[in-house]
Structure 1
Amino acid sequence: MDIILNGIFSGIVLAFLIGPVFFTILQTSVERGFWSGFSVAVGVSLSDAIYIFLCYLGVYQVFDKGNFREYLAYFGGIVLLLFGLYYLLIKSRKLSKYDPERIKTQKPVRLFLKGFIINGLSPMVLIFWLGTVGVATTKFGYATPGKAIPYFAAIVGTVFITDILKAKLADKLRSALTPKFIKTLNIVVGIVMVIFGGRLIAMADNFSTF
């Protein structure tokens, strides 16, 4: 039980870190509904699970190379910048005549990939899981699969559940949507992604020192 409780606590900390994923889930759920936000959350959780799996198996020794983190920061920053510019320059204009009854639902696969890419290409996520796996296997003594699996499953499960709650709460706002609100929301998401992308690129050299 202590293992699961530690995992839930770590998951809550991760779930409420404010970043691109947080705003992406909210924006997608507000604009396209709960199940669209759910698909994004699934992609986010799968990318987290893959990072945990790789780190725990020891493949993190490859990922922990300074150059790899630096290149990942550049690549992830560029991706976030492109997403941000899309929301600012294209998405906000497309939704100037937003009609919640007529908007098309994107295919779940596309939304899944959206969450997977935005979360998976963030070096901060990689660093978080490297640190978490290190603490779990050394300080907590969760080196064996019998202890590690429940711990990390509790983390991912907690994050997934909180992401679903975010999507559900955001979906409730749809009844009060106006074209101006949607346009503003997309502009905010775009600005957030541009800021995070720019910071990743600006700090890329620093990742080689972690």
Structure 2
Amino acid sequence: MLAPLIKGLVLGVFLAISVGPVIFAILKQSINNGHKAGYVFVAGISVSDICIVLVCNLFTSLFNLALSHKTAIAIAGSVFLVSLGIYTLFFKKVKTDEDNKIVNKTFRKRDLAAIFASGFLINVLNPGVFLFWFAWTTAIIVDSQTTPHPAEYRSIVFITCLLFVLFTDIAKVALASRLRSKLTPEILRIINKISGLILIGFGIALCWGVLAYGDKIA
């Protein structure tokens, strides 16, 4: 089936180039903590996307329940983003050695688990993600009904999309990690401050958008 493959790729490209808190968080995580932390963070994002797609396709009532609490989810997501931004802006330290070079961190299992959880939460605590997947799931389900094998059609579209997004996120981590080796501690501190401000801005915008226009969202 070529048609669902192409549709999945188009949807994946759209997601990959969308500007939002996730892309900045991936870059921040990778530049600050290296490629290992970046890959774990991306894994958390990917798992959250898979969970949302499954909920949209298989558990409509559960999705509707989540959507009915979109304001609470938005506030939780806003608090999470703003807290992460404040920590990055004011408290994130750049560790250096005696030669003033950036030190590579060693992560324990619980550190990696926390990074994975932060990747999962930054994606799932965004009502816009639910609405995006619901809109596309509805369109693809309707489209699949015109094909001989609807379930196979939907599976190809979503698997292709999710894999493409995962590979592009992995590429972002790899590029950010290569950039990290060329950064000085002072430049990294400036990047942290900019990243913190961006995350705070996204958090405020998320909360404001849902509180101001949430009642207009179907």
Matched, 1:104 2:106: yes
Over 3 Å counting, the alpha-carbon distance change for 1:116 and 1:200 in structure 2 is: same
CA distance in 2, matches of 1:187, 1:193: 10
CA distance in 2, matches of 1:109, 1:125: 23
Per-residue CA distance 1:139-174 (angstroms, 9 max, x = gap)? 454893222111111111111000000000111112
TM-score by length of 1: 0.90
Aligned position for 2:152: 146
CA distance in 2, matches of 1:8, 1:69: 28
Whether contact under 8 Å (1:80, 1:193) holds in the other structure is yes
Aligned position for 1:163: 169
Report the AA paired with residue 28 of structure 1: Q
Per-residue CA distance 1:64-94 (angstroms, 9 max, x = gap)? 32xx111111111111111111111101xx2
| % identical equivalent positions | 27
Per-residue CA distance 1:67-124 (angstroms, 9 max, x = gap)? x111111111111111111111101xx2174743343346322221111011111111
TM-score by length of 2: 0.87
Aligned position for 1:39: 40
Aligned position for 2:204: 198
Aligned position for 2:81: 80
CA distance in 1, matches of 2:87, 2:103: 23
Matched, 1:207 2:214: yes
Runs of 4+ off more than 2 Å = 59-65, 96-108, 139-145
Aligned position for 1:134: 138
- Structure 1 residue runs of 5 or longer lacking an equivalent are none
CA distance in 1, matches of 2:180, 2:83: 26
CA distance in 1, matches of 2:35, 2:104: 16
Q: Quote the offset at 1:175 in angstroms.
A: 2.0
The match for 1:175 among 160, 174, 181 is: 181
Report the AA paired with residue 178 of structure 1: T
Whether contact under 8 Å (1:40, 1:111) holds in the other structure is yes
CA distance in 2, matches of 1:139, 1:70: 30
Aligned position for 1:119: 123
- Structure 2 residue runs of 5 or longer lacking an equivalent are none
Per-residue CA distance 1:182-205 (angstroms, 9 max, x = gap)? 111111111111101111121222
Whether contact under 8 Å (1:70, 1:208) holds in the other structure is no
Give the greater-gyration-radius structure (CA).
Answer: 2
Q: How many residues align?
A: 206
Whether contact under 8 Å (1:32, 1:105) holds in the other structure is no
Whether contact under 8 Å (2:144, 2:154) holds in the other structure is no
Matched position secondary structure for 1:176: coil
